């Protein structure tokens, strides 16, 4: 039993790391990518009255951050359920 539990905990941790990795990559792309590194290129595109790079730096990145945490909450609740230890 104890070994099963350890294996299940390992799998939980790996799934956790995978999701955190994915979400942090998106985090990096929207803020440092769109908002800073490629801001000049994106500014050539206009969206309504916004230059796109400027919009990402002052608006878009923040919206994405909120969505990222929402996804994280949902995914982790699912993982908790899937791998959750039974109360001993």
Beta carbons within 8 Å of 19's beta carbon, 6+ residues apart: 72, 75, 76, 79
* Binding flag, residue 36, another protein (CB under 8 A): yes
Instruction: Please tell me the distance from the alpha carbon of residue 84 to that of residue 27, in angstroms, as a whole number.
Output: 28
* Binding flag, residue 62, another protein (CB under 8 A): yes
Q: For another protein, which residue of 7, 18, 32, 41 counts as binding (CB under 8 A)?
A: 32
* Binding flag, residue 22, another protein (CB under 8 A): no
* Binding flag, residue 25, another protein (CB under 8 A): no
Query: Footprint of another protein on residues 41-60 (CB under 8 A)?
Result: 43, 47-51, 54-55, 57-59
Helix boundaries (H) for the chain: 2-28, 39-43, 52-55, 61-83
């Amino acid at each position: 039993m104890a070994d099963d539990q350890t294996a299940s905990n390992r799998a939980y941790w790996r799934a956790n790391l995978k999701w955190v990795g994915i979400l942090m990559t998106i985090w990096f792309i929207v803020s440092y990518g769109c908002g800073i590194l490629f801001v000049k290129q994106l500014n050539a595109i206009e969206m309504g009255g916004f230059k796109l790079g400027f919009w990402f730096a002052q608006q878009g990145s923040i919206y994405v951050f909120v969505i990222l945490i929402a996804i994280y909450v949902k995914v982790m609740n699912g993982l908790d359920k899937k791998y959750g230890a039974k109360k001993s």
